[in-house]
A = this chain, B = another copy of it.
Amino acid sequence: MNKPRHTIKIDLGTRSYPIHIGAGLLAQRAIVEAALPAGPLLVVTNQTIAPLYLALVQTALGGRSCAVCVLPDGESYKTQATLGLVYDALAAAKVSRDGAVIALGGGVIGDIAGFAAATWARGIDVLQLPTTLLAQVDSSVGGKTAVNHPAGKNLIGAFHQPVGVIADLSTLSTLPERELRAGLAEVIKYGLIHDATFLDWIDASLSALLTRNEDALAHAIQRSCQIKAEIVSLDERETGPRALLNFGHTFAHAIEAAAGYGEWLHGEAVATGMLLAAQMSERLGFLSTPEVTRLRELLIRAGLPTEAPRMGVARALELMALDKKVLAGRVRLVLLKEVGAAVVTADYDPAVLQSVLQQAVA
């Protein structure tokens, strides 16, 4: 039997939970079942993942009956309408407060299923089984759940911690190349905001990561989850330091909305957004030009986009103003004070933001 290579604890008092990282974990009944309550279960997954991994999870549940809700695949389905389908499945399966949702898939599935669990019967358990690199290092961990509103990404959501996260490295073998690269954007983010040594390691290990070397992936996921666990444990509901995890995301949300949800993968938008935030940091005197150049080259080597769509400065500012970090009408941005150390601030010259956007999106 495969044991997890790593188990990281998210420390949130009564809402604490483990993240298990390892190969073949989805087939391990002891690991999958351990986290679940006694009541009715609903697996939420999508049309791409169901044929690959649903049977495995059902086997791991042993004889327990379990309803299934298979959603269409893609960010464009992260909507109130799709959420309604999950509610209908929860009602049909008579899932009550002692039941649970099992989210099997990438970030979109984890976010929708997590939000449905947060709001069904005013909150039931959710077990996250992330099958993409992005979901394993980021979206499945920390309790952020949401669906999109036409006016902006993740505007409808809740904080709702899972009862556990099982990151099965084996699922990454079927991940499309483009999604692997998108996941690496979030891994790079952790290095940039919190750990310059980890960023050096990513730089040196990039080809091992891109060729899906299991040891490299395991380390990347473990270190990313450790950093996320540390920050989330300090600030579960994002009143303070947790906002640092949104490095590049305010720009990214504008890119995703301008291009139409689903055109850019979230991680791709984050890559370009991080570069814009780094350019802002450079203009404010925090980063050197070679540091920004190095980031751009790393993103390019990782096969990630570095050019935002030409949406125009006014539209970009309008979309950024819908960001949930807006306070008193001012967009707060996450910037780098140096490589490995981020800061959240609304205290910047708007002309600098204007000029960075002018160059990038006009």
Contacts and interface: CB of A to CB of B under 8 A. Distances in A.
A256 to B, nearest CB: 16
A122 B324 CA distance: 9
A155 B118 contact: no
Contacts of A326: 96-98
B84 A80 contact: yes
A53 interface: no
A158 B328 contact: no
A155 B87 contact: yes
Interface string A135-176: 000000000101001111011111100000000000000000
A122 B97 contact: no
B122 A158 contact: yes
Instruction: Give the size category of A's interface with B.
Output: 35 or more
B156 A120 contact: yes
A149 B328 contact: no
A157 B122 contact: yes
A89 to B, nearest CB: 11
A240 interface: no
Contact of A146 (B91, B122, B149): B122
A98 B122 CA distance: 24
A150 B119 contact: no
A158 B151 CA distance: 23
Nearest to A91: B151
Interface in A84-105: 84, 87-88, 90-92, 94, 96-98
Given A97-B326, A98-B327, A121-B157, 16 more contacts: A38-B328, A39-B328, A87-B149, A87-B155, A88-B149, A90-B155, A91-B155, A94-B322, A97-B325, A115-B119, A119-B157, A119-B158, A120-B155, A122-B238, A122-B324, A123-B158
